[in-house]
Amino acid sequence: MTAARGRILFAVAALLVLAALPQIGITIPGLFERPLSAPGTLSLLALCFVFGALALTYDIVFGYVGLLSFGHALYFATGAYAAAIALTRWHWHLPQAILLTAVVAIVLPLVLGAVCLRMHDIPFAMVTLAFAEAGSVLVLQNPFGLTGGEEGLALGSDVLPSYLVGVPNTHNLYWIALAFLVLTYAVGWWAVNSPPGRVWQAIRENERRVGVLGLNPYLYKLGAFVLSAFLASAAGVVYVLLQGGANPQITTSSFTLALLVMVVLGGVGTLWGAVLGGIVYEYLDFRLVALSNAPALQSLPAIVRVPLSEPLFILGVLFIVLVLFVPGGLGGLLRRRAAA
């Protein structure tokens, strides 16, 4: 049996276990407080899957094309808000809302990408950051009462089909998130291994040479930008279903930076590394908040307690250490272990 076939078998087995999780009542002490089939654990895992998928979409532009975008949160938020607005403000049904979101999720990155990609490298990063900030300002201003400003938009219990609402149906949302992750991975894998995907990686290595070879790097970059933004918007829709609404936190520049942390944490330029990074980041973010309220921590002196009770401080420091000493991220570490 070849290594590749072994890996596929392993992936299929892991997927089957993940899919069966809502039916398995085991507990993993330390990792999760409640049994794996409990709604709380399932919704945390579902959120982890969505962020894994989102990190993967970011890795397509950052890891494969080499475009350092600081505006990726904008497209996630676009998906989330377009769907939430159609559902709550206009009382559309879910399929129509998804259709509208799909149209917006192609047009917006096409227009913004066309402008941003006139710049290269770091100026490109700054310009994408500026557009994302404009999006954040727009959401907070609550134009025409659409976005709900700082409060965000909460889906009522009546706008979604009944099988997606309520604690007893958490396993349905879990399966949707898992299926979305698998689908995103499949699309991402297909895209980066397709002929245009090879051109993306060539652009990352040497853009001028791609131009000299007679291909137009601009169009290829725009294609990658739109694909990645479209998938990010789809992740935004799943996020709205999971969270029961959209909130302005996902529009902020800090959220884009969190995406960057996820991808670098997992390993830039590998799809599964990015997924791993997204999952680990979201899990840590959640668990570190729980840790900050732990009684053991409260008894420590303030100088130790205060930094440890700020999840973003721990993640920021972890990130610096990774960048300085482990450039390949967690994925790189695992691979090196496997090779040794």
Partner 1 sequence: MSTTVLLLITGLGLGALYFLIAAGLSLIWGLMRVLNLAHGAFFTVAAYLGWSASLALSGTSPWVQWGVSVVVAVIAGGVFATLTEVVLIRPLYARPVGQVLVTVGVALAAVALIEGGYGGDPKQLTLPAWLTGTTAILGANIPNTRWVAIFAAALVLALLLFFLQRTRYGLIVRAGVENRSMVEALGIDVQRAFTLVFAIGGMAAGLSGVLAAAYYGTIDPVRGTSMLIFAFIVIVIGGLGSVAGSALAAVIVGVLQQFLNFYAAAGVGDFAVVLLLAVVLLVRPGGLTGATST
Among 103, 163, 323, 336, binds partner 1 (CB under 8 A): 323
Q: Is 261 in the site for partner 1 (CB under 8 A)?
A: yes
Burial 107-137 (b: 16+ CB within 10 A, else e): ebbeebbeebbeeeeeebbebbbebbbebbe
Please report how close the Cβ of residue 28 comes to partner 1 at its closest, in angstroms: 28
Q: How far is the CB of 138 from partner 1 (least distance, A)?
A: 7
**Using CB under 8 A, which of 107, 134, 183, 294 touches partner 1?**
134
Query: Of 10-18, 113-121, 150-158, 276-284, which part binds partner 1 (CB under 8 A)?
Result: 113-121
Q: Are 101 and 237 in contact (CB under 8 A)?
A: yes
Dihedral sign computed on CA atoms, order 101, 39, 315, 176? negative
Residue 67 · residue 129 · CB < 8 Å: no
Give the residue with the Cβ less far from partner 1, 36 or 139. 139
How many of the chain's residues bind partner 1 (CB under 8 A)?
Answer: 39
- Based on the shown chain and the rule CB under 8 A, indicate whether residue 330 belongs to the binding site for partner 1: no
In the complex with partner 1, the residue whose CB is nearer, 15 or 115, is: 115
Candidate residues 19, 94, 133, 175; the one interacting with partner 1 per rule CB under 8 A: 133
Find all residues with CB under 8 Å of 260, minimum gap 6, and list them.
Answer: 58, 62, 70
Q: Among the residues of the chain, which ranges form H helices?
A: 3-20, 39-59, 72-88, 94-116, 121-141, 170-193, 195-205, 207-212, 217-243, 253-266, 271-292, 295-298, 302-308, 311-325, 329-339
Among 18, 100, 110, 140, binds partner 1 (CB under 8 A): 140
d(C-alpha 53, C-alpha 73), whole Å: 13
Site for partner 1 in 67-86 (CB under 8 A): 68
Cβ proximity to partner 1, 33 vs 121, nearer residue: 121
Q: CA–CA separation, 155 vs 152, rounded Å?
A: 10
Q: What is the rounded distance in angstroms from the CA atom of residue 267 to the CA atom of residue 256?
A: 17
Cα angle for residues 276, 33, 303 (degrees, 5° grid): 80
- Tell me the C-alpha distance between 42 and 220, whole Å: 38
For residue 196, give every residue at least 6 positions away whose Cβ sits within 8 Å of its Cβ, in sequence order, or none: 220, 223, 224
- Residue of 26, 324, 339, 340 interacting with partner 1 (CB under 8 A): 324
Task: Please identify which residue in 110, 125, 182, 222 interacts with partner 1, judged by CB under 8 A.
Answer: 125
Q: How far apart are CA 198 and CA 210, in angstroms?
A: 11
- Applying CB under 8 A, which of residues 130, 154, 215, 334 lies at the interface with partner 1? 130
Binding mask 294-313 for partner 1 (x = CB under 8 A): ------------xx-xxxxx
**Tokens describing residue 29:** 């002490």
Member of 315, 328, 331, 332 binding partner 1 (CB under 8 A): 315
Residue number, 213 or 323, with CB nearest to partner 1: 323
Binding status of residue 141 toward partner 1 by CB under 8 A: yes
User: Which one among 138, 154, 182, 215 touches partner 1, defined by CB under 8 A?
Assistant: 138
Closest CA to 112 of 210, 245, 209, 233: 233
Among 55, 56, 83, 129, binds partner 1 (CB under 8 A): 129
By C-beta, is 41 or 147 nearer to partner 1?
Answer: 147
Least distance from partner 1 to the Cβ atom of residue 315, Å: 7
- Positive or negative, the CA dihedral 241, 244, 247, 250 is negative
Contacts to partner 1 by CB under 8 A = 68, 115, 118-119, 122-123, 125-127, 129-131, 133-134, 137-138, 140-141, 253-254, 257, 260-261, 264, 306-307, 309-313, 315-317, 319-320, 323-324, 327
